[in-house]
């Protein structure tokens, strides 16, 4: 499902996220993702588990929590400010976290693994065979897609600005190097002229040799 105006697209391929936290190595794969043209930029993740939410809720949410955690780590390390959205069956699961406890956990300042910094909120269920449910689900998903695209456009603007500043610095460095090169060339030519003038002065002041 694509949205040209948003500049983002939901894609149904498995996306892996992996991070090391101290001695722990966390890896999770999702069933799909919301990505931009830059495939490394993921703005949302999608997980599909038929009937798992109602029949195996605890297990499904445990896996969802791990996927959310790895995705939030991905967002933090890649500077993506929009928080993740995951769809399980026909539930929307919103993940919210306490940034203070979360960042302290990343820095190793809090070792209590029982500390709750991730909160999952389920919205639903939505019934595939009820048109109103499908319409509301689609509208919510599209709205969040457009909202996330605003963050992507802001990041693209920042990337463009950074690239322009980098190009400006590069040109300034090239101009500086060219000026220094020109100054050295002028200094060399000036030294050569002074040396040549000194030789002529020495020749002019030397007495002529007498010839018998």
Owning domain of residue 64:
2-161
* Residue-averaged pLDDT of the chain: 72
DSSP states of 132-165 as a string?
HHHHHHHHHHHHHHHHHHHHHHHHHHHHHHHHHH
Whether residue 27 lies inside any domain: the answer is yes
Q: Is the pLDDT of residue 115 over 50?
A: yes
pLDDT in tens, 42-89: 777 777 665 555 567 677 777 777 777 777 777 777 776 655 555 445
Whether residue 24 lies inside any domain: the answer is yes
Distance CA(98)–CA(116), nearest Å, equals: 9
Whether residue 168 lies inside any domain: the answer is no
Whether residue 26 lies inside any domain: the answer is yes
65 in helix, strand or coil? helix
Whether residue 112 lies inside any domain: the answer is yes
Whether residue 156 lies inside any domain: the answer is yes
pLDDT in tens, 164-188: 888 888 888 888 888 888 888 888 8
Distance CA(25)–CA(18), nearest Å, equals: 7
Q: What's the half-sphere exposure (Cβ side, CA atoms, 13 Å) at 188?
A: 6
What's the pTM? 0.37
8 Å CB contact between 147 and 8: no
pLDDT in tens, 118-128: 777 777 777 76
The pLDDT value recorded for residue 30 is 77
Whether residue 206 lies inside any domain: the answer is no
First and final CA of the chain: distance in angstroms? 109
Please state the domain count of the chain.
1
8 Å CB contact between 63 and 86: no
Q: What is the total residue count of the chain?
A: 212
Whether residue 180 lies inside any domain: the answer is no
């Amino acid at each position: 499902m694509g949205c040209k105006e948003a500049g983002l697209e939901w894609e149904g391929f498995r996306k892996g996220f992996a991070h090391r936290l101290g001695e722990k190595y966390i890896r999770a794969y999702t069933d799909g993702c919301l990505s931009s043209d830059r495939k490394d930029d993921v703005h949302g993740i999608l997980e599909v588990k038929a009937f798992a939410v109602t029949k195996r809720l605890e297990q499904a949410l445990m896996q969802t929590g791990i996927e959310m955690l790895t995705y939030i780590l991905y967002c933090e390390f890649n500077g993506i400010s929009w928080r993740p959205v995951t769809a399980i069956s026909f539930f929307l699961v919103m993940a919210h976290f306490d940034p203070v406890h979360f960042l302290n956990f990343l820095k190793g300042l809090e070792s209590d693994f029982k500390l709750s910094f991730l909160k999952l909120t389920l919205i639903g269920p939505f019934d595939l065979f009820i048109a109103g449910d499908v319409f509301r689900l689609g509208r919510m998903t599209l709205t969040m897609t457009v909202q996330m695209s605003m963050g992507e456009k802001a990041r693209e603007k920042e990337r463009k600005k950074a690239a322009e500043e980098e190009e400006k610095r590069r040109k300034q460095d090239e101009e500086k190097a060219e000026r220094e090169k020109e100054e050295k060339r002028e200094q060399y030519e000036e030294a050569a002229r002074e040396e040549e003038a000194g030789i002529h002065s020495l020749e002019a002041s030397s007495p002529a040799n007498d010839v018998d």
